């Protein structure tokens, strides 16, 4: 039974719709991107069975799935029908659109515990206006100055409140990481920014104007449920399409994490301040009567004033989720997610290996503005694994045993793991030799040069006038094996 036709289901047993009785946990995974492939792969390592709902046929997910369906992930009734037919015990939602559409609510309504907030709480991502107003109402610190013009006529007055300082224009709704315009990068002056802000309002949207922050961005994700907020390793994402942080915003070209779960420029104190903001946000949601059982992802800017919140996402980041999921190999991931979905997490299950990771996306040439669709990639997954890296499939179509066709979006993510960031980056570069075809990738992610530049940038902000100092580019003894289940002394809880 093929799974490429709309609404058809792939079967792994001759009997449908009732699957055989199983002793292992059975999870529904909603989504079809590389991040969702990483979620499913981590569940698979935990010996859980995976059933998949996605609008596309993801080669990596298809190889892992016990059953899959080509269903719009935002179509709650059909997602629920599939989940019930497959007798799943729990569910996790990968991308943001199904959360905004209320799919988590629909699954919970039929007693399927789900990792992912309901539609109302998911407004923390789907409505930037809701997020800022919630945090202002509850006095949550760490927010930049922002203004919300209610009409086209109010835009110019709102911009004047920044007194000539650069600002950022943000559509309030979901934009797949590509709608935010920053003065100096996406528009030149206040007049051009005003035109963009007004265009959003004229299309019926809501727009936020925020002060432009100077510093280094970082991502901090956490499992959030009734019993608390449980952080993951910090990650730095690369949004800009071109090397040197040039070009337009994308969904994310790659990311890295450090062995000690901090970043070269991020101190434990600043990480803890960001976490405190997330904990207060979770408390604010609870006070408002909005239950949150899922992933909360804080996008922060480390500034001279400390970490300030840029935005929240209500799910694993893409690609940042790939970094942290690569490090979770304890085999308890299914139990951890079930705890998130049902309200109580055993903190001993929130453990990640002390290793650095780098993720780089292989994308079609021109990705972001004018992607060249239809290019063929030939890859050798076994050789990539030998080079200390892993492949996660994104929006591609399988056209042969070792070949995929690129679409307009991100194709495959390659994740490298090592003792230090630049070593993990080198492993990805070695793995790229096993990917043939016409594609683009940001080679500068995780290199010594880029790490030094970012750390010096942050040092100059925090200690202006101080002499440059070398940074520790390796934080570990000689490299361990590329990837393996770790012993207890190689884990950080």
Do residues 237 and 217 touch, judged by C-beta distance below 8 A? yes
Do residues 96 and 314 touch, judged by C-beta distance below 8 A? yes
pLDDT value at 178 more than 80: no
Question: What is the tens place of the pLDDT at every residue in 51-104?
Answer: 999 999 999 999 999 999 999 999 999 999 999 999 999 999 999 999 999 999
List the single range of 177-191, 378-392, 453-467 with lowest mean pLDDT: 177-191
Look at the chain and count its residues: 493
Question: What is the tens place of the pLDDT at every residue in 187-245?
Answer: 888 888 888 888 888 887 888 888 888 999 999 999 999 999 999 999 999 999 999 98
Give the model's pLDDT for residue 2: 36
Give the model's pLDDT for residue 186: 80
pTM for this predicted structure: 0.88
Largest CA distance in the chain: 72
317-to-95, 241, 280, 390, 458 alpha-carbon distances in Å: 9, 17, 21, 18, 23
Q: Which helix (H) or strand (E) holds 192?
A: helix 190-202
Q: Which helix (H) or strand (E) holds 421?
A: helix 421-432
pLDDT value at 6 more than 80: no
Give the model's pLDDT for residue 208: 85
Q: Averaged over 268-294, what is the pLDDT?
A: 97
Measured CA to CA, the distance from residue 408 to residue 230 in angstroms comes to: 35
Confidence class of residue 470 from pLDDT cuts 50, 70 and 90?
low
Question: What is the tens place of the pLDDT at every residue in 99-124?
Answer: 999 999 999 999 999 999 999 999 99
- Spell out a b/e string for 410-447, using b for 16 or more CB atoms within 10 Å of the CB, else e: bbbbbbbbbbbbbbbbbbbbbbbebbebebbbbebbbb
For residue 63, give every residue at least 6 positions away whose Cβ sits within 8 Å of its Cβ, in sequence order, or none: none
Strand pairing category for 376-379 and 435-436: antiparallel
142-to-268, 277, 278 alpha-carbon distances in Å: 16, 7, 10
């Amino acid at each position: 039974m093929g799974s490429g036709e709309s609404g058809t289901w792939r079967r792994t047993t001759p009997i449908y719709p009732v699957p055989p009785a199983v002793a292992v946990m059975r999870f529904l995974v909603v989504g079809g991107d590389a991040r969702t492939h990483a979620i499913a792969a981590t569940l698979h390592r935990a010996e859980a069975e995976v059933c998949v709902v996605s609008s596309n046929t993801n080669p990596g997910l298809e190889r892992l799935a016990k059953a899959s369906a080509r269903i719009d992930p935002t179509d709650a009734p059909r997602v629920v029908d599939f989940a019930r037919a497959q007798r799943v015990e729990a569910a996790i939602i990968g991308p943001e659109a199904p959360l905004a559409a209320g799919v988590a609510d629909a699954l919970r309504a039929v007693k399927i515990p789900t990792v992912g907030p309901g539609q109302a709480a998911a407004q923390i991502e789907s409505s930037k206006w809701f997020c800022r107003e919630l945090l202002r109402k509850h006095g949550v610190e760490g927010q930049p100055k922002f203004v919300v013009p209610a009409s086209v006529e109010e835009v110019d007055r709102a911009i004047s409140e920044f007194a000539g300082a650069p600002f950022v224009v943000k559509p309030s709704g979901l934009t797949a990481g590509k709608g935010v315009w920053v003065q100096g990068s996406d528009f030149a002056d206040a007049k051009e920014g005003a035109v963009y802000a007004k265009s959003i309002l004229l299309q019926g949207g809501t727009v936020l104007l925020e002060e432009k922050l100077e510093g280094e961005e970082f991502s901090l994700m956490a499992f959030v449920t009734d019993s608390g907020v449980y952080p993951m390793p910090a990650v730095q994402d690369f949004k800009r399409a071109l090397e040197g942080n040039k070009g337009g915003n994308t969904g994310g070209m790659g990311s890295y994490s450090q062995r000690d779960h901090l970043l070269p420029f991020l101190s434990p104190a600043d990480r803890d301040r960001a976490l405190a903001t997330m904990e207060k946000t979770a408390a604010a949601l609870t006070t408002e009567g909005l239950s949150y059982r899922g992933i909360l992802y804080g996008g922060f800017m480390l500034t001279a004033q400390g970490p300030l919140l840029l935005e929240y996402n209500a799910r694993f980041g893409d690609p940042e989720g790939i970094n942290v999921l690569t490090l979770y190999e304890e085999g308890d991931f299914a139990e951890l997610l079930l705890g998130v979905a049902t309200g109580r997490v055993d903190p001993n299950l929130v453990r990640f290996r002390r290793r650095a990771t780098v993720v780089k996306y292989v994308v079609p040439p021109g990705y972001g503005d004018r992607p060249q669709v239809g290019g063929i990639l030939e890859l050798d997954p076994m050789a990539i694994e030998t080079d200390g890296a892993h492949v996660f499939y994104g929006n591609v179509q399988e056209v042969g045993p070792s070949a995929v066709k690129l679409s307009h979006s991100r194709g495959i993510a390659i994740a490298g793991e090592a003792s230090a960031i630049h070593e993990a980056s080198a492993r990805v570069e070695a793995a790229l030799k096993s990917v043939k075809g016409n594609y683009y990738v940001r080679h500068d992610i995780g290199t010594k040069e880029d790490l030094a530049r970012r750390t010096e940038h942050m040092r100059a902000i925090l200690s202006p006038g101080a002499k440059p100092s070398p940074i520790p580019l390796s934080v570990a003894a000689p490299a361990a094996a590329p990837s393996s289940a770790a012993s207890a002394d190689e884990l950080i809880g």
